[in-house]
């Protein structure tokens, strides 16, 4: 947090450039980074590239998905509160209220268009990562009274929080 690239609206990638060597190299580098830091998602601005790419995993056994130029649309007025953290803001956690479900459209790493419906934890991950593409960090949306250092969060969260 503090690097100006995290506060920019990232540039779209022209679909005909998705298969290019620079885009594919960035995807590989992002995959190495998110695995090294044990993340569930990573957006290109987090590695100082202001383009609209995110990597996410909803099931570690299935690996990471690559979304290019994703567009998220809430599918419900219902919201959910979840505790979030971020690789760009190490050592903090806080509660964020987000739409409980989203519809996603975009391109995969091969340039194929896709659509998905997500709810629960996958919807949270998708919204968190795609916020990075618009220069938004979870601390912009956090309930400020819930913001805590990771060590204290682990120490004092309730049993209900741990479920």
Active site residue 36: no
> Any long-range contacts for 10-14 (C-beta under 8 Å, 24+ apart)?
10/43, 10/44, 10/45, 10/50, 10/51, 10/52, 10/132, 10/133, 10/134, 10/135, 11/50, 11/51, 11/52, 12/51, 12/52, 12/69, 13/51, 13/52, 13/53, 13/68, 13/69, 13/107
Identified catalytic residue from 129, 151, 152, 160: 129
**Residues with catalytic annotation?**
129
């Amino acid at each position: 947090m503090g690097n100006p690239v995290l506060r920019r609206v990232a540039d779209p990638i022209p679909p005909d450039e998705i298969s290019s060597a620079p885009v594919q190299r960035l995807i590989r580098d992002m995959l190495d980074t998110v695995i090294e830091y044990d993340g569930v998602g990573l957006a290109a601005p987090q590695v100082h590239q202001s383009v609209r790419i995110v990597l996410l995993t909803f099931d570690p056994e299935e690996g990471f998905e690559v979304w290019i130029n994703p567009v998220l649309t809430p599918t419900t007025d219902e919201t959910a509160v979840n505790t979030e953290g971020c690789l760009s803001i190490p050592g903090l956690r806080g509660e964020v209220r987000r739409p409980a479900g989203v519809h996603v459209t975009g391109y995969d790493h091969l340039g194929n268009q896709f659509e998905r419906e997500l709810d629960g934890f996958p919807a949270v991950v998708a919204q968190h990562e795609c916020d990075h593409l618009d220069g938004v960090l979870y601390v912009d949306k956090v309930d400020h009274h819930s913001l805590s250092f990771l060590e204290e969060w682990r120490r004092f969260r309730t049993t209900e929080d741990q479920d």
